[in-house]
Amino acid sequence: MSNFASAFTPISVSSAKENIDTAEKFILFIGRPSCPYCQLFEPKLSNVARNSNLTIFYINSENSEELEDIQALRKRYGIATVPALFVSENGTAKVVCDSSLSEDDILDFIS
């Protein structure tokens, strides 16, 4: 469990919001180590990140110091559940919450 999300770059909610607003492309994974669906999704996303040389940021949805901010972010973008894969690109945002996605589906969503 200690390796969960180790392929991703941890980020605070405030930094994530800034990246959503300013970055040309920003990829964010929201999940938690104790979620069985996140456990299914994380290795596939890790492989996609590694194989495609992508930087993917990570917010642990159990981070007690940021719970209110995480809830606000989830509400703003309609992120109902975790695992959530969020992509913003040139001012538009999209999100998918589906642990059954294949690596190809994940790559298609990110691209």
pTM of the full structure: 0.94
- Token pair 């069985």 is found at 36
Look-up of token digits 């975790």: 82
20-63 residue pLDDT tens: 999 999 999 999 999 999 999 999 999 999 999 999 999 999 99
Radius of gyration of the chain (CA): 13
Question: What residues contact residue 12 under an 8 Å CB cut-off, 6+ apart?
Answer: 59, 66
Q: Per-residue pLDDT tens for 64-85?
A: 999 999 999 999 999 999 999 9
Measure the CA–CA gap between 80 and 97, rounded to whole angstroms: 7
Q: Tokens 């999100």 map to which residue?
A: 95
Domain 9-110 class in CATH: alpha beta
What are the boundaries of each domain within the chain? 9-110
